[in-house]
């Protein structure tokens, strides 16, 4: 990037240029933030985002907590997270989707989140889907909305099935009518449309 400019480098002693030296030394004298304080701030941010996401859903934070306690798989995941000891999980296991996202998982008061998305237990999934589908936004928009707030392993498939079975969505969906292929007329040469007439002298 600097190759685009014509410049000269000149050394200036700090005795002659004290203001810059003071600013560079100020950084080292500033104490760094303790790690516990940073972690506490991150926890506060995650909790605030969780509460904000819950406001967009038809279920309360307490309802999610109660439903989560009844799901053995989610409780196992929370235990693995707390112990920081994940066993090797097989790809065919019901826990695989969570294991695959283990770096993004967090908990807020015994409720599971992946990134900022709330993991919704099966007993609440239908209610959440119907709320997301209330305005019949279509499959793509509904997936986008859902991915902003919630997660469960079969989320995309459930949305596709719900939209496919919805009469209102089907009536306004774009018809996927294939255009009829038409062949070109018989091949012609560029000059074939003209006739040459000549007059003899």
**What's the pLDDT at 127?**
93
* pLDDT single digits (tens) 15-56: 776 666 566 666 555 555 555 554 445 555 777 777 787 788
Indicate the domain borders of the chain.
38-170
Whether the pLDDT of residue 126 is over 90: the answer is yes
DSSP state letters, the chain: -GGGS--------TTT-HHHHHHHHHHHHSPPPPHHHHHHHHHHHHHHHHHHHHHTSSS-HHHHHHHHHT-HHHHHHHHHHHHT-PPP--TTSTTHHHHHTTTTEEEETTEEEETTEEE--HHHHHHHHHHHTTT---HHHHHHHHHHHEE-TTHHHHHHHHHHT-HHHHHHSPP-PPPPP-PPPSP--GGGG--------
- Over residues 155-168, the mean pLDDT reads 91
- Kindly list the distances between the CA atom of residue 74 and the CA atoms of 19, 50, 112, 149, in Å, as whole numbers in the listed order: 57, 17, 7, 18
Q: At 110, is the pLDDT very low, low, confident or very high (cuts 50, 70, 90)?
A: confident
Q: At 122, is the pLDDT very low, low, confident or very high (cuts 50, 70, 90)?
A: very high
d(CA 143, CA 46): 22
Percent with pLDDT over 70 in the chain:
70
**What's the pLDDT at 143?**
93
**What's the pLDDT at 137?**
86
* pLDDT single digits (tens) 132-158: 898 888 889 999 999 988 999 999 999
**What's the pLDDT at 25?**
61
* Pairing, β 117-119 against β 150-151: parallel
**What's the pLDDT at 162?**
92
d(CA 46, CA 140): 27
**What's the pLDDT at 157?**
94
């Amino acid at each position: 990037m600097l190759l685009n400019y014509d410049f000269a480098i000149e050394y200036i002693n700090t005795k002659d240029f004290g203001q810059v030296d003071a600013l560079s030394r100020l950084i080292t004298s500033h104490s760094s933030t303790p790690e516990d304080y940073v972690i506490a701030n991150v926890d506060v941010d995650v909790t605030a985002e969780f509460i904000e996401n819950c406001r967009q859903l038809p279920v309360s934070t307490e309802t999610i907590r109660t439903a989560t306690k009844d799901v053995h798989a989610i409780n196992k995941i929370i235990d693995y997270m707390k112990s920081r000891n994940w066993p090797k999980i097989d790809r065919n296991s019901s826990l695989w989707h969570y294991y695959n996202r283990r770096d993004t998982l967090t908990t807020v008061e015994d409720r599971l989140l992946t990134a900022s998305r709330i993991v919704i237990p099966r007993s609440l999934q239908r209610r959440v889907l119907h709320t997301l589908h209330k305005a019949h936004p279509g499959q793509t928009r509904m997936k986008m909305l859902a991915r902003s707030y919630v997660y469960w392993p079969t989320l995309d498939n459930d949305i596709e099935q719900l939209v496919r079975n919805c009469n209102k969505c089907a009536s306004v969906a774009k018809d996927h009518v294939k255009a009829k292929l038409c062949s070109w007329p018989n091949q012609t040469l560029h000059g074939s449309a003209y006739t040459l007439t000549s007059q003899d002298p």
